[in-house]
Structure 1
Amino acid sequence: MTTGQMHPGAHPVDEDLVRRLVAGRFPRWAGLPVRRFPSGGTVNAMYRLGEDMVVRLPLVAGGAEDVARERRWLPALAPLLPTAVPEVLGAGEPAEGYPWPWSVYRWRAGRNPVEGALEDPVALAGDLAAFVTAMRGLDLPDAPRAHRGGPPAALDAETRAAIEALRGLPEEGVDCDAVAAVWEDALRAPDRAGPDVWLHADLMPGNLLVADGRLVSVIDFGCTGVGDPACDLFPAWNLLPAGARAVFREALDVDDASWRRGRARTLSQAVIALPYYRTTNAAMARNARHVIRTVLEEV
């Protein structure tokens, strides 16, 4: 859950606005109860609509681009993947002073896994590897570029700035020299060989749903597209313990250079997130700290 406004310029959203938007766009659902769903998400607000649906609304302009991407690609991806993904039931449009498109989805049951508290990490590692393998095997024309799908060098300036920001937060206890060394190592890794592949590109715990320890759904495809396969290795460090991490790597047959790139990309996301979300999003900050500890323990 959040503890304050995460982003400057975020549009205010509440239950009354969602009721008005739904009633105006989808009169058949106007009488259904609306209630805020607590989420660690950073770009969208989520509201349960009745028992079987959820309304997802961007909080910032950048999130509006994700709405169109999901509407375009989720119907094509869904039948090709081994795990359930979001199903768009209604396409909302700007109204009632709300400036961006929004969507109504079928509700997917499950809960977000929590790093350090997995019921069956080895089985979950296998489920995640099967999902990533299926994504990589897709052959859909006109694929977009994945957000977070490029080489580590694309994030060099932003990552170095975040490392310096963490130096100014000694209470976080981050070994910034060690973090910088991992980043430098990734920049020296051999260039990727082979074509781009389909990625989810945002495999954070908050975008995974589990039941009885197993993966039952992957959500939030706003970053999906094609890019470096190393960019879908995030769960190795943001979720899985060492033994399950090895299972995940073996199942995906990850070479050393790809592992170094994936590890550094995951670390980059964490060091950028921690100073930004440390007082506004407890789930994101907690996971960022976990990633930093996990990566530095591995190297």
Structure 2
Amino acid sequence: MAQATTGGDRPAIDAALARRLVDDQFPRWAGLPLEPVLPGGSDHVIFRLGGELTVRLPRHEEAVGQAAKEYEWLPRLAPHVPLAVPVPVAVGEPAFGYPWPWALSRWLDGEPATPGGLGESAGAAETLAGFLTALQRFAPVGPAGAAALRDPALAGDPLAGRDDATRAAIAATAGVFDPAAMTAVWDAALAAPARRHPPVWFHGDFHTGNLLTRGGRLSAVIDFGSLGLGDPARDLLVAFTLLSPRTRPVFRAALGTDDTTWTRGRGWALATGLNAYRHYAAVNPRVAAQTSRQIAAAIAG
């Protein structure tokens, strides 16, 4: 039942710690069984608590703040999108040597989406486009909407901010992928005109691993820790992680994506794929396969 992680300044996290945190801060759930959810995520160690809850503990400092963000915004967003999203229940406090806030959310049943299962589905491509369309149209009014536009935690980082790291990754992976092809995609993405419309909501990490299915159909979108306001091009990532060359155009047409946004989206897919490949491929064959597919798809367009 234990699931521990540590390294550098990352705290050790296991089921015993999660049990103590839940029992101490939320005693009404103290009797519920707790089991690790594997493989978990790159940002959180995840446990299932009973039949209806999840416990999510940030692995590293960059993920701190995600729990509070989801607790504030997902209940507002949920009624406006056509797929289920996690419903936050509570935010826990640092304790027992664990240094950061953590989250309790409602469990969502489902299996992770895979390219083999849904990559060739035109219906899935249209469903994804419908979700993003609804997300981008979500517009909280009044003080909440005004506060969102001012909140630095919701501000999307610019693609150009990843230039140095992406070029370094291109050079470092030149023996695995085509550096000239990657550089061409990256240069085109940076040269594409910036979005000239008001910022819209984006998921921020909209890829295969954050999509659930039930009965062979998309059912839920999870992990909104990167939720923010900015360029919707970053959510085109899903076209290069889940969809095939045949269904990618279906998704693009349903979403109504123009050429410059698509070009920036290819850049986001390349940059995030290279980043994950460099950090995890050597120790995780599953990530190596997923990110290799993503990089190849971004190059292909």
SS at match of 2:99: coil
Q: Cα offset for 1:151? A: 3.9
Task: List runs of 5+ in structure 2 lacking aligned partners.
Answer: none
Match of 1:47 in 2: 47
Match of 1:153 among 157, 160, 163: 160
Match of 2:221 in 1: 218
Question: Residues 45 and 297 (structure 1 numbering): CA distance in 2 closer, same or farther, change over 3 Å?
Answer: same
Moved more, 5-14 or 95-104: 5-14
Q: What is the CA deviation profile of residues 149-179 of structure 1, one whole-angstrom value per residue up to 9, with x for unaligned ones? A: 3442121111111112213xx3xx2111211
Question: Residues 115 and 15 (structure 1 numbering): CA distance in 2 closer, same or farther, change over 3 Å?
Answer: same
Q: What is the CA deviation profile of residues 84-103 of structure 1, one whole-angstrom value per residue up to 9, with x for unaligned ones? A: 11111222111111111111
Partner amino acid, structure 2, of 1:209: L
SS at match of 2:261: helix
CA distance in 2 between counterparts of 1:119 and 1:255 reads 22
Q: What is the CA deviation profile of residues 196-231 of structure 1, one whole-angstrom value per residue up to 9, with x for unaligned ones? A: 111111102111111123211111111111101111
Question: Residues 271 and 206 (structure 1 numbering): CA distance in 2 closer, same or farther, change over 3 Å?
Answer: same
CA distance in 1 between counterparts of 2:263 and 2:195 reads 11
Match of 1:176 in 2: 179
Question: Residues 219 and 17 (structure 1 numbering): CA distance in 2 closer, same or farther, change over 3 Å?
Answer: same
Match of 2:257 among 237, 240, 254: 254
CA distance in 1 between counterparts of 2:153 and 2:81 reads 18
CA distance in 1 between counterparts of 2:12 and 2:85 reads 27
CA distance in 2 between counterparts of 1:271 and 1:95 reads 35
Match of 1:241 in 2: 244
RMSD between superposed Cα atoms in Å:
1.9
Corresponding position: 1:164 with 2:166: no
Query: For this pair of structures, how many residues does the alignment match?
Result: 291
Partner amino acid, structure 2, of 1:276: H
Question: Residues 148 and 276 (structure 1 numbering): CA distance in 2 closer, same or farther, change over 3 Å?
Answer: farther
Conservation of the 8 A alpha-carbon contact between 1:159 and 1:271: yes
Q: Cα offset for 1:145? A: 5.4
Q: Cα offset for 1:119? A: 7.2
Match of 2:108 in 1: 108
Conservation of the 8 A alpha-carbon contact between 1:112 and 1:205: yes
Q: What is the CA deviation profile of residues 177-199 of structure 1, one whole-angstrom value per residue up to 9, with x for unaligned ones? A: 21111101112212222111111
CA distance in 2 between counterparts of 1:120 and 1:260 reads 22
Moved more, 142-151 or 77-86: 142-151
Conservation of the 8 A alpha-carbon contact between 1:80 and 1:134: yes
Match of 1:228 in 2: 231
Q: Cα offset for 1:11? A: 1.4
Q: How does 1:52-201 map to 2 (within 5 A)?
A: 52-118=52-118, 121-140=121-140, 141=145, 142-143=147-148, 144=151, 149-167=156-174, 170=175, 173-201=176-204
CA distance in 1 between counterparts of 2:139 and 2:215 reads 32
CA distance in 1 between counterparts of 2:222 and 2:190 reads 30
CA distance in 1 between counterparts of 2:45 and 2:155 reads 22
SS at match of 1:243: coil
Q: Cα offset for 1:120? A: 5.8
CA distance in 1 between counterparts of 2:196 and 2:16 reads 51
Question: Residues 284 and 148 (structure 1 numbering): CA distance in 2 closer, same or farther, change over 3 Å?
Answer: farther
CA distance in 1 between counterparts of 2:17 and 2:189 reads 45
Conservation of the 8 A alpha-carbon contact between 1:5 and 1:280: no
Moved more, 254-263 or 116-125: 116-125
Match of 1:204 in 2: 207
CA distance in 1 between counterparts of 2:161 and 2:277 reads 19
SS at match of 2:110: coil
